[in-house]
Amino acid sequence: MALWKDSNTGSAAPAGPAPSPAPVHREPERANVAPISPAPAARPAPAPAPHRNDMKESHIASDLTIEGKIIGTGHVRIAGKFKGDVQVEGNVTLDAGARLEGHVKAGVVSVSGELIGNIENAKRVELLESGVINGDVKAGSLTVAAGSRMRGQVEFGYEGAAHGGKSDKGHGNA
């Protein structure tokens, strides 16, 4: 039995729910309306300090000769010639055939080329097979490969060596 009667046909409508009319979508009128200016962009939050493993590496190519000073955060790889001091919160790598004239302050210093200058406050220094250091080294640890050469004083293995402290122990000539 029908719940209502269709007045047009004179017959009963089906017993299911009545279909709802389709919603009508209208664009809002734009007459006499001032445009809304966008909200000022929020400033992005400053990036967190990079973790040592996330640091970028800067590279001085083998066919370059640069004179100046390097200071900053990140790793530095020198394959060419650089004259000046290098002070980074990261690692310094001196490739075979490269030459660096200046003082170095870095976390890890790896020397395969020639370094003329002192290494200070390094956690670790690696003097590799083809490496040459003419200068003093103060580091937490020192690795020396057979075939490498060094002329200068060395201080390593003491807490003060890697952090710039004075110590009367550990001096030696290499």
Give pLDDT, residue 166: 46
Give pLDDT, residue 170: 45
Helix then strand then coil, % of the chain, to nearest 5: 5, 40, 55
Partners of 127 in the β-ladder: 111, 144
Cα 45 → chain centroid: 17
DSSP, collapsed to helix, strand or coil, labels residue 161 as helix
Give the domain ranges of the chain. 52-160
d(CA 173, CA 112): 20
Tokens in use for 50?
Answer: 């990079």
Contacts 24+ apart (CB under 8 A), 129-137: 130/96, 131/94, 135/103
State pLDDT tens for residues 142-161: 999 999 999 999 999 976 65
State pLDDT tens for residues 101-129: 999 999 999 999 999 999 999 999 999 99
pTM of the model: 0.63
More confidently predicted of 75 and 2: 75
